[in-house]
Structure 1
Amino acid sequence: MITSFVHSTYCNAALFGGLLFVIMGYLIARFPPKSVNAWYGYRSFLSTRNQEMWEAANKDAALVSKKVGFVLMLIGICCALIFERQSDWFMYITVGTLVAGVLYIVGDTEWMLSNEFDEEGKRRVPPKL
């Protein structure tokens, strides 16, 4: 039974990665990391400059992660219904969309940080409510 699921098209990277992104986004939004030294959270050079940037980065990354996760799950389900077996193209599409999703989350969050904060880590524009 487990073997048949592992070899089915419903066992794909886009579906599992999307589910992981939705769970991760929900948990970070629900339980935001308190400080830069927390063991979880969105961690990059820009996000760890100060506490305000850390909070903004984690809030944005959680929101974008949930959105990307739902899109990835939809793509994973569509691929599972379209393909009859786990072919090369099936793998290219499901893994490629997962990699693109990760790059989008990082790119969007870094773009937001570089637009909203100046070189010293001070907010340029008032926060969006």
Structure 2
Amino acid sequence: MIVFNIVFTLFIPVLMILCGYLMYKHTPKDINCLVGYRTAMSMKNQETWDFAHNYCGRLWVKVGAVMTIISALVCVPYFFMSSGKATVIMCIAEVIQVVFLCWTIVPTERALKDNFDQDGNRKDK
């Protein structure tokens, strides 16, 4: 049971690192409604699409790395507590990780807004 708790505590942060790397290194070539960072602003044109994937992908790698370290530290007490308590801690950690995952939308959309107008044209600096 301890192995299960450790794997699932580390699952989201590690997945963020892997997906983040893929987002900025291998951005989907075409704007689509199935794969990628899909918001109204990111799908305006190819330039906003590429920018959003680059920005969010790099952010996911950074946030995922920090969360991996913190989550690994959270796993240490699993060895010294009952499986029921460890499962509760794991669930709390998962909820917090999902909140941070969703939070990355805010700075990505802010960066899009700072760099592009409402029509998706790059702003002059």
Alignment of 1:74-85 (within 5 A): 74-83=69-78, 84=81, 85=83
In 1, Cα distance between equivalents of 2:2 and 2:87? 15
Mark the CA change 1:21 to 1:54 in structure 2 (over 3 Å): closer, same or farther.
Answer: same
Structure with the largest fraction of helix: 2
Aligned residues of 2:17 and 2:64 also touching (Cα < 8 A): yes
Q: Name structure 1 gaps, 5 residues minimum.
A: none
CA drift of 1:43 comes to: 0.9
Normalised by the size of structure 2, how large is the TM-score?
Answer: 0.83
2:6 counterpart SS class:
coil
Report if aligned partners of 1:12, 1:76 keep a CA contact under 8 Å in 2. Answer: no
Report how many residues are paired: 120
- CA-CA distance at 1:87 after TM superposition: 4.5
Equivalent residue number for residue 3 of structure 2? 5
- Cα gap change, 1:12 to 1:125, in 2 (>3 Å): farther
Q: Quick check: 2:17–2:61 contact (8 Å CA) kept in 1?
A: yes
Aligned-CA RMSD value = 2.0
Deviations 1:10-45 (A, max 9, x none): 1333x1101101110111222121110274221111
**Residue type at the aligned position of 1:88:** V
Name the SS of the counterpart of 1:72 in structure 2. helix
Contact 1:24 1:62 in 2 (8 A): yes
Question: Does residue 12 of structure 2 align to residue 17 of structure 1?
Answer: yes
Whole-angstrom CA distance in 1 between matches of 2:50 and 2:120 = 12
**After TM superposition, where is structure 1 displaced by more than 6 Å over at least 4 residues in a row?**
none
The answer for unaligned runs of 5 or more in structure 2 is none
Change in CA separation of 1:125 and 1:81 when aligned onto 2, cut-off 3 Å? farther
SS of the residue corresponding to residue 58 of structure 1 reads helix
After superposition, the C-alpha distances for 1:49-81 in whole angstroms (9 at most, x for unaligned) are 111110100100110010111112112101101
Distance 2:33 2:40 in 1: 15
| Identity in percent | 26
